Chain A
Amino acid sequence: MAEEVKVFRSWGSPFSYRVELALRLKGVAYEYIEEDLSNKSTLLLEYNPVHKKVPVLLHHGKPIAESLVILEYIEETWQENPILPKDPRERAVARFWSRFLDDKCSLALWMSCWTEGETQQNFMEQAKECLHLLEEELKGKKFFGGDSIGMVDIAASFIAHWLGVLEEVAGISLLDEEKYPNLCKWTEEFLKSDAVMECLPKRANLLAFFQARKHAISATKASV
């Protein structure tokens, strides 16, 4: 009997991308359900009543929400191409950096691109500190996970693809090749993977989407 694996996702979301990438790395066939985040489906709200967000993984009809929780589930359910090490301390280190990416890094990077003036300067400082820490963590390694893509790499996919688009839209530079050579090399290696490229949203589409959003925000400000 075929496994019933479904992913509730939004095409541009780096969080739902994590789930699709993990499934592809493990060779798990799945069906995706595209969500319009401005008009969420009844099913999504039923499967994730607490946060009402994508991604949600549905396996044999049972829902799991929160991308990092889903990644741990995927790792425990399908054993091919492990994304977490076996050693408890190394697992703790991987979980630490995954959480760091979520709790500190994503916010600083995102807000750097959507704010202005002093607020933006503060977020950019925070963002640079985060990138510096990640740069150090990558020293001597091809991927955060070592020789192959692991949970931290998956959690960091935002940096490999979305960040460049947002920098362009905001007209700022954060991921400087001189300052962060390891991270830039990591991005190149990461984007060589078939699994990574298969479900990555097209850069042009992301660019158009964020540019439109920026115009909408500017228009709102102008009319105030």
Chain B
Amino acid sequence: MGEVDTKGVVLLDFWVSPFGQRCRIALAEKGVEYEYREEENLLGDKSPLLLESNPVHKKVPVLIHDGKAVCESLIIVQYIDESWPHRAPLLPADPYARAHARFWADFIDKKIYECGTRLWKLKGEGHSAAKEEFTGILKLLEGELGDKKYFAGDAFGFVDVALVPFVCWFYSFETYAGFSIEELAPKLVAWGKRCMERESVAKTLSDPHKVFEFVGVLKKRFGVE
């Protein structure tokens, strides 16, 4: 991960990226002042700052703190949690509870975006398989959340941060899948609304219709009808 010539806290990001939004929410929860820099041409030529600070993956988000880059959204969120520990802890104190949170954040990271992408990219059998898999993912998350206010209990935390940006993608996933997320996972939808009552989340998440438009742009780029 690169070292560059910037001061303070800079977040290299892209407006609709759910991964970038995780970082924005974490920074807001901690009250950290930072400079947001939009990677204007993410789907085209990447900026020199991005290529220098994330030479391995060349992806947003990248958090640059006093010139030193941190990459990969969940790693960035943990870095934020450890660097500003005195306010709004995102991971609990107990090692087992922390492991539990890391496990579910990892599950969300591996499954949601990848499977969700197949919902709008594929047709026929591939689409049916993606729909079934996504339903399974929702049910697992619904089960894990249960009747709790947030995933770790009463406090908004790591798993919530990992998942909540996808709430504004629900509309797109539902439309392309042909199912209702409210029907499949009502507790999850209620949790999403509760999270939206938090300023950090409300100010960060994109308008679901703008996300849907963006998916339309991606479909064109990938030559999907």
Interface residues of A (CB under 8 A from B): 50, 59, 62, 64-66, 68-70, 72-73, 76-77, 88-89, 91-93, 95-96, 99-100, 133
Contact = CB atoms under 8 A, between A and B. Distances in A.
Contact of A50 (B76, B83, B140): B140
Given A66-B106, A89-B68, A133-B56, A73 B96 contact: yes
Contacts of A64: 96, 99-100, 103
| Main SS class of interface, B | helix
Contact of B107 (A50, A77, A92): A50
Given A64-B96, A99-B72, A99-B75, A72 B82 contact: no
Given A50-B107, A66-B106, A91-B82, A73 B72 contact: no
Interface string B65-79: 100101110011011
Given A50-B107, A96-B1, A96-B71, A88 B99 contact: no
Contacts of A62: 96
B155 to A, nearest CB: 19
| Main SS class of interface, A | helix
B103 A69 contact: yes
A91 B107 contact: no
Interface in B44-87: 56, 65, 68, 70-72, 75-76, 78-79, 82-83
Contacts of B78: 91-92, 95
Given A89-B68, A89-B79, A59 B96 contact: yes
Interface residues of B, number: 23
6 contacts: A50-B103, A50-B107, A64-B99, A69-B99, A70-B99, A88-B82
Nearest to B66: A89
Contact of B75 (A65, A70, A77, A95): A95
B121 interface: no
Contacts of A92: 1, 70, 75-76, 78-79
B70 A89 contact: yes
Nearest to A95: B75
Contacts of A95: 72, 75, 78
Interface in B173-208: none
Nearest to A48: B103
A100 B57 CA distance: 9
Contacts of B149: none
